[in-house]
Amino acid sequence: MHDHSVHIQCQECPIRHRAVCARCDTGELNRLEQIKYYRSFQAGQTIIWSGDRMEFVGSVVSGIASLTQTLEDGRRQMVGLLLPSDFVGRPGRAVAAFDVTATTDVVMCCFRKKPFEELMSTTPHVAQRLLEMTLDELDAAREWMLLLGRKTAREKIASLISIIARRDSALHLRKKTVTLSVDLPLTREEMADYLGLTLETVSRQISALKKDGVITLEGNRHVSIPDLDRLLEEAGDDSDGGMLV
Amino acid sequence: MHDHSVHIQCQECPIRHRAVCARCDTGELNRLEQIKYYRSFQAGQTIIWSGDRMEFVGSVVSGIASLTQTLEDGRRQMVGLLLPSDFVGRPGRAVAAFDVTATTDVVMCCFRKKPFEELMSTTPHVAQRLLEMTLDELDAAREWMLLLGRKTAREKIASLISIIARRDSALHLRKKTVTLSVDLPLTREEMADYLGLTLETVSRQISALKKDGVITLEGNRHVSIPDLDRLLEEAGDDSDGGMLV
DNA sequence: ATTGCTCCTTGATCCAGATCAACAACAGGG
DNA sequence: CCCTGTTGTTGATCTGGATCAAGGAGCAAT
């Protein structure tokens, strides 16, 4: 289960400056280095089951994981999309509140919960950074509540695409390619679970946006955006270029 | 604007052990005592406008405030209900992301942002408690996402009532009155904004739950719950008595 | 008591998105 | 190459909740 084939020095870690360790000094990093271990998960694998004891916390190093919640009758809602540098688990809570699933192959940098909690109470920078990240996630969750409660299917799809576009233009720093383009990291069904729709509606609305020239598709997963402003308008977001995920 | 007619000693404060100051020792409390001030808001008054500079943060001492978000065309979604001891504002952010409105008359214990941030970086207990509270809010927001994305109108109403019931049975510690009863602190329209429904649907579903004997009404706002398990069943929540707000 | 509020209820109709159903495109794997 | 499973598209129909519309109940001000 524990995959020791991967091991990265913190100093070389691709998420060094965005993850929970972002603020750590060299000394703190050494302590983390000592207690950390890597685990890999295949696409589709469940990382943590809701209700299970959580014996570890950690950061997504690569790949994408999702947080989901399910009603007994099977209705499912995705409540978070975890990208590289996002933190999984909750110090101070014994039991997981949500399912965490690997959407793509995932590598995580893990810490057993106990040592991590001790480290948190002695080194301020981890706790500070975690607070900051949690506040960001809370803001994102609240933006998402607006989407789930009040947006139309078309606006939901446009919002999702623009969020993904914004996020990975931030990651790759390619500023203004004439035509922005992104890969959707989710199946139609996963998008539906994220947006509170059915997969058929997702498919139809994507087709509609395509027909209306808002987006172009190459294959099922690759989306080009000829006019980002147009897409943002379709997303219905408050004009003030708000800050989501 | 600043209302100095109210002033409570921290030691006597009703939210002393639940608010952001819960973990503070006497020394820390003294520092807070020096920089705090009280403000009162009338029902309906806006406490903070989205997009405004936030010059203060603080705790709700009494009354109920709501966090809301609005699309240009007026569609509105409530994204949080702030009860006594809940924290308002976000250290490390200059501008408010949501509207904060007093739903009932509200008294807040405020701190100017700068001094509070300084205090946070020097006293661990405030930051620790704030992290804990933020993580709780994030969990609650995610539960709410499931409600908004996947629950039916009837389940939404039943969920809201059971959350209010759970919350203030926790507050008043009256364990098992034969028939549990609660006051709804929101108008039908505010409930609609919270649940992602219209006020007509809220009204109809409340009537339906009443007709089916799940609840009883005295007046418009007072709800009695003869059988809590029945109500929880109607709410559709995962059987494991999950922990919301 | 009458007027004018705000808040709530109920009825009639409509429609966006769910549901049910068929099929297409593609990737392995024998 | 065909078979089988997964993922995605599109059409036909249904329905839960929105929308449009009317009126009631409580209450403060005149």
- Give the separation between CA B136 and CA B213, rounded to whole angstroms: 33
SS3 B152: coil
B242 has a pLDDT exceeding 90 = no
Mean pLDDT of A59-77: 96
Round to a whole number and report the distance in Å from the CA of A184 to the C1' of D3: 30
Mean pLDDT of A216-236: 94
Mean pLDDT of B171-185: 73
Asked if residues A102 and A58 have their Cβ atoms less than 8 Å apart, the reply is no
> Which one has a higher pLDDT value, A227 or A1?
A227
pLDDT at B126: 94
pLDDT at A241: 45
Residue with tokens 């009932």: B104
The answer to whether some atom of strand D lies closer than 7 Å to the beta carbon of A36 is no
Q: How far is CA A118 from CA A31, A32, A56, A57, A112, in A?
A: 11, 11, 13, 13, 10
Round to a whole number and report the distance in Å from the CA of B162 to the C1' of C3: 40
User: Around Cβ B170, how many Cβ atoms within 10 Å?
Assistant: 9
Mean pLDDT of B155-184: 82
A244 has a pLDDT exceeding 90 = no
pLDDT band at A237 (very low <50, low <70, confident <90, very high): confident
Rg (CA), chain B: 19
pLDDT band at A169 (very low <50, low <70, confident <90, very high): confident
Say which nucleotide is closest to residue A155, CA to C1' distance: C16
pLDDT band at A167 (very low <50, low <70, confident <90, very high): confident
Round to a whole number and report the distance in Å from the CA of A219 to the C1' of D17: 35
- Give the separation between CA B2 and CA A114, rounded to whole angstroms: 45
Say which nucleotide is closest to residue A44, CA to C1' distance: D6
B177 has a pLDDT exceeding 70 = no
- Give the separation between CA A59 and CA A78, rounded to whole angstroms: 19
Give the least confident one: A32-41, B123-132, B140-149, B169-178: B169-178
The answer to whether some atom of strand C lies closer than 7 Å to the beta carbon of A153 is yes
The proportion of chain A whose per-residue pLDDT surpasses 70, expressed as a percent, equals 91
pLDDT band at A168 (very low <50, low <70, confident <90, very high): confident
Residues on chain A touching B75 (C-beta within 8 angstroms) = 150
Burial degree of B115 (CB within 10 A; 0-12, 13-18, 19+): middle
Sheet holding B99-102, edge to edge: B46-48, B99-102, B65-70, B76-82
- For A134, the closest of B69, B131, B239 (CB atoms) is B131
Find which of A86, A122, A148 to mutate to test the B interface (most B CBs within 10 Å of its CB): A148
Residues 6+ apart with CB under 8 A from A135: B90, B92, B93, B134
The answer to whether some atom of strand D lies closer than 7 Å to the beta carbon of A199 is yes
The pLDDT mean for chain A works out to 91
